[in-house]
Every structure is written in C-alpha cells, then in structure tokens.
Amino acid sequence: MDKHYQNIVILTGAGISAESGLSTFRSENGLWNNHPVEDVATIEAFERNPEYVHEFYNEMRPELFAAKPNPAHLAITKLQQEYKNSNINIITQNVDVLHEKAGNKNVYHIHGQINQIVCLNCGHVFETWSDVHSDDECEYCHTKGLLKPNIVFFGESLLYMDTVEYLLQNCDLFLSVGTSGVVYPAAGFVQVAYLNGARTCEFNLEKTSNNYMFAEHIEGPAGKTLPAFVDELLKK
C-alpha cells in the first residue's frame, strides 16, 4: 500500500522482550516469574507483606537492568528517526525499559516500569535501580513505609489510558508486536484502531487469539520481521 501514514501506534508485549533474553514473566499456570500472582502482584499482597513484595521486584530489577534491546526495538528507533512527518507512539505492556535503551520516543508503559517507585502518600513517582524496602522514606514528602513499585497490580487501573484511547482513535497504522491478544484491555486495542480506519498488522511467532481483528499477519521472530517491515515502509 503506497500510503504515507501520519499517526502510527505500535503495541508491544512480552514477545518483543523475550528476544532480549527476558522471560515472559506471566506463565500459563498463572505464576508471575515463578511466584503466585496473588503473593506479589496484587494490592492485597502488598498491604499484607510489603517487604516480601519489594524483595520480589528487587530480585527482578538487575535482570531487567542488564537486558539489551534487540533488532525489533532498534527497528522502531529507525522508523521514528527516518519516517518523516509522522507521529509514532509506542504503547507497551512491558515493565522493562528496552524501548528507552534503544532510543525509542513517545513510550507509554501502561503496566508501569520496573525502575520506578510511587509514594502512596503524595503520589510522586521517582526512578531507581536500587533495592527498595518497606521502611524506606519518600524523598519528596518524607513519609516512611508507603513506597510501592510503580507496577500496575492486578485489579488496579492501567496507566495513560486517556492518551492511549486518543492515539488509537486517531491512528492510521496499528502494529502489534509480540503480544498474545489474550489480556484485556490491550487485546481490544486493535479493534478500536480498526473501527477508526487504521491498517492493522500483527507480528508474532504464531497467530494470536484475536487474529481475526488484524488485516495482516506476519509470523516469525520480531527481530527479523519488524526490521524488514520498517525497511519496506521507508522505501515507500
């Protein structure tokens, strides 16, 4: 299709990070990085045993800090830098910062970020790669014991959803990369984009459960398929 796209939205999931060596933390048996979800990823768990929850994310942080972006992330960088006169935004379900490491711009982490802490007293969010403990003090309001990983726990509202809705309603090209198409509301983003006239493409190792919503299916490792797609788009 020889068309210049003005508003591109790229949705990314665990599959794009897997090619950088990061596990897809939520497994089929409901475990979150080998821990029961209800023990480490709910607000009830945090209220019940905040130190245990902090230790879980403290252990995860070094792995995500060390991870390096792969060719799929770098293809997005190339697209943002070379595809002129277009707004290109990324909605990611991932809590890692591989997009940022690759130089990607306009990244919206709807599930939060592993390198951020939020104070439940004053609401300030600050970055850290260091260990966090349940009795730590907020550097803004100096309240102790109310710091929480800035990760969206199950049952909490996703972040940036007003912005996400606007981007989806106004995009003319929607790319879904490495996401299962199972978890809502992200699994429904393609439908919003499609109903508003966007071209819709999915990049995955296999067709997803919501594949019928996509006009195009590109199967294979995103580190190979996405760079090829970007190169073709830049030619046009």
Residue 4 CA to residue 96 CA, distance in Å, equals 31
Tell which of 99, 134, 151 closes a domain.
151
Residues of the chain with pLDDT under 50: 27, 29-31
Last residue of some domain: 151, 173, 207?
151
Catalytic residue among 54, 99, 109, 111: 111
**185 and 162, same structural domain?**
yes
- pLDDT tens digits for 195-221? 999 999 999 988 766 677 889 999 999
Q: Could you tell me how many helices (H) and strands (E) the chain has, helices first?
A: 9, 11
pTM beyond 0.85: the answer is yes
Give the whole-angstrom CA distance, residue 177 versus residue 98.
14
Looking at 103, 132, 151, the residue that finishes a domain is 151
Shared domain check, 213 and 137:
no
Nearest by Cα to 26 from 110, 93, 99: 93
For 106, counting Cβ atoms within 10 Å of its Cβ (0-12 exposed, 13-18 middle, 19+ buried), the class is middle
Supply the pLDDT for residue 207: 74
What's the confidence (pLDDT) of residue 212?
75
Nearest to 168, CA basis, from 185, 193, 145: 193
Task: Report pLDDT for 30.
Answer: 45
Does 86 lie in the same domain as 62? no
In a shared domain, residues 208 and 97: yes
111 is catalytic: yes
Contact 143, 119 (CB under 8 A): yes
Provide the pairing of β-strand 216-219 with 199-204: parallel
Number of separate domains in the chain = 2
What CATH number did the domain enclosing 144 receive? Answer: 3.30.1600.10
